[in-house]
Structure 1
Amino acid sequence: MERKEVKENKKERVKGKKKKKKRKKKKKKKKEEEKKKKKKKKKKKGKDKGKEEEEKKEKERSKGEEEEKSKGKEEEEEEEEEEEEEEEEEEEEGGGEEEEEEEEEEERKRKDKEEEEKKEKERSKGEEEEKIYLLDNVVKPIFISFQLAKLATINQHVCLVL
C-alpha cells in the first residue's frame, strides 16, 4: 500500500511541476507579445517622425538646388566667356599645340594598353602556377591514397587510408 501511495504522490508532484512549467511558458509568451507590440508602436511613431524629417530635408534640398542652379548658370556663363577668349587666343597662336596634345594622348593610350596586357599575362601566369601547385600537392596525394585503399580492399583487408 505504501508503495502505491508513494507512486501516486510522485505522480501528483510531477503533474504539479508540468503545470508550473506551462504557466511559466504562457507568462513568457505574453511578455514577448507585449514587447513586440511596444516595439511596433515605437516604430510607427518613429516612422511618422522620420517622414516629417524627410519632408523638411527635401524642402531644404530643393531650396538649395534652386540656389545652386541660379549660381551655376552665372558661373557657366562666365566660364563660357573665358573659354571663348582662350579659344580665340589659341587660334591666334596657331594650331601646333593641339597636334602635340593629340599625339601625347595617343601615346598615353598606347602605354595604358601595354600595361594592361602585361598585367593580364602576369595574372594568367599566377593562375597556371596555382593550378600546378594544386595538382602536385592536393590532387595527386588524394588519388594515390584512393589507389592504395583499392589495393587494400582487393586483398580482403578492411583499411582506411586518408
Structure 2
Amino acid sequence: MISARLSPTPPAGWRWLAGVDTDPRFALGQWERGRAALVRLGCCFDAVRVADDGETAAIIADLRAAGRPVGPVLVDWATRTSTWLVPVRRLPLWDLRGTELLTGDDETPAILMPPPAPGETGGMSWAVRPDGSGRLTCHLDLAVALRRVRPRLRGPIGSARSGGGRKAS
C-alpha cells in the first residue's frame, strides 16, 4: 500500500485528477491515506478499458514512437486490464475487440483509481501517471496502436491467438 503524506499543496497530477470529481477533497484525502478513490467519468475524460495480455508497455512505446501524446494509463493487475483516459467522446460508435468505452453516461459513471503516485494500491498502479497537464490519449491513436501492437504480440486481432475479449461498446 502507498503511504503518501502530501504537502499542503498536492502534486499537479493529483489536483488535476481529483478536480474532475464532485468532491476533490475526498479523493485527495483517500489518496493521501494510500487508498483508491472513485473518480467520475464524462466531465473531463472518458476511459477505454483494454483486456491486457501484457501489452500496455508495448502500446505506450508504440504511441510514443509515433510521436502521439500518451495520457494517464491505469493497470489493474487482478482483472488484467489497462484503462486509458481519453477525451470525452459523444459519438455512439466505439467498436474495437477486447476493449470497452466507459463514459459517465453509461452504467459506469466513475472508476476506482489508486493514488497517482509510484507503487501499487489494491492491485492497481499507474503505467503513466497524471502529470496535471490534462493530456489524454486520443481514441484514434489508441485504436491504431492496438491494431499495430496486438498482431506482433499475439497474432492478428480476431485470430484464435488473440483471445476473445470484453465487449466493445
Q: Which band: TM-score by shorter chain?
A: under 0.3
Question: Taking structure 1 as the reference length, what is the TM-score of the superposition?
Answer: 0.15
Higher-Rg structure is 1
Relative contact order: is structure 1 or structure 2 higher (C-alpha 8 Å, sep ≥ 6)? 2
Q: TM-score, normalised by structure 2?
A: 0.14
Higher relative helix content: 1
